[in-house]
Each structure stands twice: as structure tokens, then as C-alpha cells.
Chains A and B, each alone.
Chain A
């Protein structure tokens, strides 16, 4: 597909997303605006996650840790300090900076399966902390939080209208995230990340500090997970250890593989398929997970490069003919 058509497709998608809330409740129930808000929040995580897993080749099974960290940070801030979204974001990013550097520093000493399990171990540590530290985190019951506000703290603040106000807020974050991540993968930095994925040793012999670059990629992806966590928690007005659970990290991987790792947009498509498809299927049958699982197995066997990876391969061979 030429760059031109890709751009048209992206803009068309954006247009649909912008117009989407206007269709409710006339064409479809407002429930779908809510669902798509959640899907887009996942999309933000997945964009950042692809930089680490898809482009750098470091598959983390602990990214729920940053999703949850963003969530809990904003919960504490809203409950104890300020209801302002930007204060939440800043604190969440600072917390992620600290936790991300520690986890990134140790995890990037390893690779492959060891990286997978080390990130999982760190995430489980946070999960269990949230679960057991009942006095602070509310434990399994989680924490309910007041509504988040937009604006300048102390001067002018406003609640975010629901559902469409929040929908557009998340959409703005998604678009900015996409633009930033695309910037990253097209930058000199992004090219070296691909080199690390393909042949880490040679990259270091070409004069690049592989370890440092891996930590950078790790931090970038962690930041996006944290931003998404802030949005998720403030949207739901609720956080619980569920957000930190390893199955959320697993979902990130599942969505990425399904959509196509290393294609940036692929994992987001995977997220749409899994969350939307799961929603549709679960309304039809109780055993909807079987169908998701079956679909996943089929995809792995028939199209291991994922939906977007496979389609772009097909279009490329078409062009060469």
C-alpha cells in the first residue's frame, strides 16, 4: 500500500472515530461509546508496547504494572491532593520514571524468556502489594475515586462530560500517542531498535550502547502504559488490583500478536478485534472465550505476522508481481 493510501485510510479512521459519538443513541446504544473509550485506552498502551515488544523485540509480561501504577497514582492524587487530570498525569509519570528505571535496569540485563519472567516477577510484586496493603490500596475491594477535572488547578476547573467528553479526551491522547510513536520508529533511535531486535550483538559492535537504548525503549513503553492507566482509572472512577494482574499484561501480548507486532498500528487493531469481538461474542454465548482462543490459534498457525502484518505482506507481494 502506498504511503498515500495509508494516509487516507488513517484519516478516514480518524474521521469515523470523531463522528462516532454522534451516532449514539440513534444508530447504536451509547454503550458502544463507552466500549470504544476503553478500546482506545488500550490502544494507547499497545502503541507504546509495540515499540518495546514489536520493534525492540523485548516482550514484557509485566506491563500491567505500569498500567496499574498509572491507575493507583491517579487514585491517590485525586483522593488526597487534587482532582486535576494533569496533576494525576505528572505524578503517574514521575512514579513510572522511578519504577520503570528500576525494573528496566534489571530486566534489560536479560533477554528472551528471562526478560519475560523478570518483568512478570516485578509486576506480580506490585500486584501483591496492591492486593495485601489493604489500608492504603483498599486491597481486593479497590478504591473508588471522585470525578477527575480538566483545567488549571485553583483557577478554573471543569468536570469532563460523559461519555462523549471523555471519549474525545481519550481520542486526543490516542492520536498524540500515535504521532509520537510513529515519530519514534521513524527516528534514528527507532532504526537502531530494529537493529537490536534483529542482531543485538552486531549493533553493539557498530558503536551503539544497546543496554541504554533498551532501557530507553522500556521507559517509553512504560510511560504510555501509565498514561493509559491514568485515563482508565479516572474514567472508571475506580481502581483495583485487577489493573495490575498478569492477565492484563497477557492481553497486551495477545492483542499485539493478533494485530501484528512491529507494525505500530497492528497491536491497536488487535486490541479492537479482541475487545470488540469479545464483547459481541460474549453477548451471543457464555463460552465466548473458546471462540477467541480458537481464532487466536488459527491466526498463529495461518498468519503469524498478525492481521496488519499479513495484509501488508500480501499488498507488498501484489505490488512486486
Chain B
């Protein structure tokens, strides 16, 4: 098991956002997390990736207890994430953005005396990532001048740059047109060949198509978990989430 989340609870003052939530992520799978607005999906991401510590419960990554570790520790262990709302370096170019991400896994990543050397393949790897996400031509554009769709790609590129073994993608298609999100999902499918992915996504049809397993939450509680086929048949899920469709 790559990731084990055991009974985590998180409250903000009186408001309980996550309640005794448990789930697992197997190596190599693409797991989707779905649920109505305000179900606690992003809070769940924030709690696992270190923005908040859970109030109770444990999180194991590759068998090690990582509960309450800071984002930079988790990142170094191989957990990366993207954000629902663009969270990159607006005043830097695409290339500089990706450099900053990839530099973090190099030796001497924050050294004053050591230069980034050729053999570190910073340029090479960054080019590879930019090519992969389709931003090679826009590499010298400032991130803030990119089109919205390209910005969403950069958001993922940044997360990829740190060479993660577990990648959390928080609504990568949010705000995208149907056409753009189709391309984004293709990218994610291709990505899932290389890295384990946990995905928050609103488009149920897409989720059903691409994911290996689905976790459904509502009011911070797990209401179902299983393969897309199982989720489709689940009455509870039908009631709270898919009812309208």
C-alpha cells in the first residue's frame, strides 16, 4: 500500500470538516475522490499534503507515519500536489517555474556555492516536462500571461517537477471548457502510467472513465469506495451525489 489514511478527523473551530475518514491508495492506481461541493475534498488534500495537521488519525506513506509533517518534508518523500486555484509563480516564466520545481530534487538545491551543473540535467528534464504538458513553446512567457488552460497545465507541471511517486491533483480541469478538460484528462491518463495519482474531479463521466477506484465523500464522511462499476451501482451514492443526473 502506497498511502494509508486511518480515521482522520479535522475541524475548524466548531465546524467538523472530516470525520473518521479512512482510505488507501495502491501503488500505480488512479484514485478519484468525488463528492458534492463542500464535502471536504480539498480539506482532505490539505490534511494529507501537510497544509494542516489532522486533529486525530494517522497517515502512512510507504509504511512510514507522516502524520502532521510539513509540506516540504512530504514533498521530499515523494508526495506532490497541484492546486484547485492556480498557485504558481506569476512573475516568473514557464521555464523558471519548472526549474524551481525540479531544482528542489537536485543535490545542492539551495546551495550558495554550488551551481546547477549540466550533469544535473535541469534544462533537459525541464524541457521534457514542458514538452509533456505541452508548454514548450510558451517557455519564455511569464506565467501570468499564459492562457487559462495553459496555466492549469503549468500547475500540474510544477507538481510533476519534484519527481513525485504520489501525485495529488486538485480539480485540474476546474474552469476549463469541455474541450480543454478532455485534453487535460488525456494528459492525466498518460501520467497515470508513470505515477500514482489521487484526483479530485467534478466531471463524473470523466471520473468513471479514467479512474481505477473511486472514493465518495459527503459532509466529511466516506459514503462509498470501490471501482467505477461498483460506485455506479451504489444506492447511497446515487442518492447523495448522482441523484440529479
Contact = CB atoms under 8 A, between A and B. Distances in A.
Interface of A: 183-184, 187-192, 194-195, 198-199, 201-210, 213
A194 B99 CA distance: 12
Nearest to A203: B100
Given A189-B111, A206-B158, A198 B91 contact: yes
Max chain A Cβ within 10 angstroms of own Cβ: one of B70, B71, B87, B106? B71
A201 to B, nearest CB: 7
A187 B115 contact: yes
Interface magnitude class on chain B = 35 or more
Contact of A207 (B72, B90, B91, B112): B72
Interface of B: 49-50, 70-72, 75-76, 80-81, 83, 87-92, 96, 99-101, 103-106, 108-116, 158, 161-162
Nearest to B108: A188
B90 A198 contact: yes
Contact of A202 (B88, B96, B99): B88
Q: Chain B's interface: helix, strand, loop or mixed, by majority?
A: loop
A184 B112 contact: yes
Contacts of B108: 188
A173 B232 CA distance: 72
A199 B75 CA distance: 16
A205 B162 CA distance: 9
Q: Chain A's interface: helix, strand, loop or mixed, by majority?
A: helix
Contacts of A203: 100
B71 A205 contact: yes
Contacts of A202: 83, 87-89, 158
B141 to A, nearest CB: 13
A189 B110 contact: yes
Given A188-B103, A189-B111, A192-B110, 9 more contacts: A187-B114, A188-B111, A188-B116, A194-B92, A198-B90, A203-B100, A204-B70, A205-B71, A210-B72
Nearest to B70: A204
Contact of B49 (A183, A187, A190, A205): A205
B101 A183 contact: no
Contacts of A195: 89, 92, 100
